[in-house]
Amino acid sequence: MPQRIERPCKAFLCPNTTSNPNGYCDEHQALARERRGSARKRGYDTRWEKFRARYLREHPLCVDCEAEHRLTPSTEVHHIHRLRDYPELKYAESNLMALCHQCHSKRTARGE
């Protein structure tokens, strides 16, 4: 597997470099967690965990992979309209997609 390129840490005035995908060196990993907040702080509670498990049972394959004729198990639930912008659509199945981790990461990186 290819190594990631070392880049400067995102922490203000940190002299360290990192290959960590979140951009923070080992010393500043707490900043990465603070910046985004925990899943609980972002609204993913026990009710969501149960809903998510049921949704993934009912939608076992990644939608994006299926569109490319690949059968990949879904592991994540993607909100089409961002949860922070449309909290009322949190449990609306019309606003959800079952995706594998890789496809979910791609969509999130594109800002979808």
pLDDT at residue number 34: 65
Q: How confident is the model at residue 33 (pLDDT cuts 50, 70, 90)?
A: low
- pLDDT, the chain, mean: 88
Are 66 and 25 in a shared domain? Answer: no
Mean pLDDT across 3-31: 85
Residue 28 belongs to domain spanning: 7-36
Are 16 and 60 in a shared domain? Answer: no
Residue 72 lies in a domain: yes
Are 62 and 90 in a shared domain? Answer: yes
Residue 46 lies in a domain: no
Residue 51 lies in a domain: no
Mean pLDDT across 61-73: 97
Measured between alpha carbons, how far is 37 from 43 in angstroms, rounded to an integer? Answer: 10
pLDDT at residue number 35: 64
